[in-house]
Structure 1
Amino acid sequence: MLEGLPPNGAAYVMRLRCDEPTARRVADLIVETFEPADAAAAAFEEQFNTRAWTSGAWIVEVYFGLPPDEESVRGLVEVAAGDEYAAKIEFSRVQQRDWVASSLEGLEAVREGRFVIHGKHGRDRVTSGDIGIEIEAALAFGTGHHGSTRGCLAMINAVAKRRRPYAILDVGTGSGVLAIAAARRFHRRVAAGDIDAVAVVAARGNVRRNQAGAYVRPVLAKGVGHPDLRAGAPYDLIIGNILARPLRSLAPKLKPLLVPGGELILSGLLASDVPGVLSAYRAQGLYLVKRRLIEGWATLLLR
């Protein structure tokens, strides 16, 4: 799992060696607590040799652009994992080049239905009939390992079993993984935007890597404010894998871009976030069709 947008020039890191459930709890709490542009969390299995055995231990790494408040971070770890693990965390300095290498280290290919999301090292996991998507997220949200990304992929598969959308929008595209997945699954043009310039650069690189340039051209956009995103409307499928607060504020802006009977896939939500998000979209005449929960992260399909 790797989620968040590490700040440009991220230079500080927190590390903790623990078991898998603890690693996931700590990383999830960090992602929920900090703004994506302020900190990024990675949780992965410790590996001594990618083709041999692993130790069974997991590593949590949290990257910061500015010196972190170590006492506050230890307090968060204490909430997620207890006093013993809070005392074991270590803080150090890193260079951006170290972040790129570390962020992808140990990440295995992820399968969700026909989709196989992988890095360069996982190309051999793609077999006949799979839709293989190679993602080198590095400085952008979305390797496919996080429960919210996997939930969106599952919902794209669910939509594909019923119909083939003709116009698709991906808001907050991050690494571009969901836009590429939708383009590859439906063979349709996908409008995609992100508020972070680093994410847009990463997404464009991933689009080229997956030969999806004919379908996807990510743009720098705050919400749906870019002319390219509005020009593609109306959409019959909109995807938003962000966080609860921006998703609630986007509700009245997304509704006018959606055709009658169109669908929304929303994620980046903890279970506790769901009622508030559903209320915001219900006020726009959109109702829950399907809900998926993966590792504590909820994905919603609304119509």
Structure 2
Amino acid sequence: MNSSEPSATYRASVAIGDEQAARHVLDVLTEVFFDGEAAVAAFERPDGRWGVTLHFAQSPDQAGLRELIGNAAGTEIAAGIVFDTVEAKDWVKASLEELVPVPAGRFVVHGQHDRARVPDNKLSIEIEAALAFGTGHHGTTRGCLLLLDHVLKAYRLTHVLDLGTGTGVLAIAAAKALRYQVLASDVDAESVRVARENARANGVGDLVKVIRATGFSAPDFPREGPFDLVLANILANPLKQLAGPMSAHLAPGALVILSGLLTPQAAGVIAAYRARGLVPLRHHKIEGWSSLLLRSVN
């Protein structure tokens, strides 16, 4: 994460017996929570059960949510709901713990055990769940990869930055597709180590340069820039705070892909970047999360 000011979203997690039950709960939740009120996802756990997670921009009505899930799956399941907050610095780490193969345009994010399932015509990004500070399973990462795939088809890019890289998924994807060096940064030392390991494991260790930095404070940014593409999958408040510093490191006509924000937060983020001379081109909404593509008109 790349902001000194704290930020958080609220999370509710619950384990459910099987896929059918989880999907029933998911259907109920998506009917109750209208577009953007909550980000809802279901995923298979290593123990064979299914997990359902919800993320909220505001503190949820815990009693109401327990009642809702209790009606859908039983009071015993509802009693097991865990409520917590996800701080900005832990955002990518906490997005989802498990990894299944996730296609996103030309990319497929997967674990080692699913290596053989990746089609030959796709670009493989292998990330082990045990090391995951963020995986392509999460709607924010998938949204970024879909936008990256679109951008790569339409524009020629040579200077790319992945800000708040986490596991390095986005930097690895860009490096594999472009075969140019990509700069990746994170404020967390462990994320820097993991991203470097993942880049080497994916055969682009020589193309992904990972540094530890808060915001744009490191000398590498002016040295490696100006950038014609910046990817930043973090949180809404840090993204707004970074609009000014980021705009100073963009090449004319540069593209910016932003994610990690709930859909109701998108308008505020767009406004912050529009004030810095960036206009929105695309807006993907996946599982209650928004991913934005903007372009500098300065």
Tell me the TM-score normalised to structure 2 length.
0.75
1:230: how far off? 3.0
In structure 2, stretches of 5+ residues that fail to align are 1-12, 55-59, 84-92
Distance 1:218 1:76 in 2: 44
What RMSD, in angstroms, separates the aligned Cα atoms of the two structures? 3.4
Q: 1:110 to 1:271 in 2, by over 3 A?
A: same
Quick check: 2:157–2:228 contact (8 Å CA) kept in 1? Answer: yes
Q: Output the amino acid matched with 2:15.
A: L
Aligned counterpart for 2:108 among listed residues 98, 112, 116: 116
SS in 2 for 1:293: strand
Distance 2:251 2:130 in 1: 35
Alignment of 1:1-303 (within 5 A): 16-17=15-16, 19-20=22-23, 22=25, 44-46=43-45, 58-60=50-52, 78=66, 81=69, 84=75, 85-89=77-81, 103-104=97-98, 107-303=99-295
SS in 2 for 1:188: coil
Distance 1:122 1:238 in 2: 29
Q: 1:289 to 1:80 in 2, by over 3 A?
A: farther
1:130: how far off? 1.1
1:139: how far off? 4.5
Distance 2:260 2:170 in 1: 13
1:214: how far off? 1.5
Q: Output the amino acid matched with 1:19.
A: A
Q: 1:251 to 1:118 in 2, by over 3 A?
A: same
Distance 1:196 1:222 in 2: 9
Distance 1:293 1:163 in 2: 23
Q: Output the amino acid matched with 2:245.
A: K
1:289: how far off? 0.7
Q: Output the amino acid matched with 1:218.
A: V
> Which structure has the higher relative contact order (CA within 8 Å, separation 6+)?
2
Quick check: 1:20–1:58 contact (8 Å CA) kept in 2? Answer: no
SS in 2 for 1:219: strand
Quick check: 2:133–2:167 contact (8 Å CA) kept in 1? Answer: yes
Distance 2:272 2:67 in 1: 30
Tell me the TM-score normalised to structure 1 length.
0.74
Quick check: 2:283–2:290 contact (8 Å CA) kept in 1? Answer: yes
1:44: how far off? 2.1
Q: Output the amino acid matched with 1:45.
A: E
Q: Output the amino acid matched with 2:183.
A: A
Distance 2:110 2:182 in 1: 21
Between 1:135-144 and 1:192-201, the stretch displaced more is 135-144
Distance 1:164 1:111 in 2: 23
Distance 1:171 1:230 in 2: 14
SS in 2 for 1:117: strand
Quick check: 1:140–1:199 contact (8 Å CA) kept in 2? Answer: no
The residue that corresponds to 2:5 in the other structure is none
Quick check: 1:120–1:134 contact (8 Å CA) kept in 2? Answer: yes
Q: Output the amino acid matched with 1:78.
A: R
Instruction: Work out the number of aligned pairs and report it.
Output: 254
SS in 2 for 1:19: helix
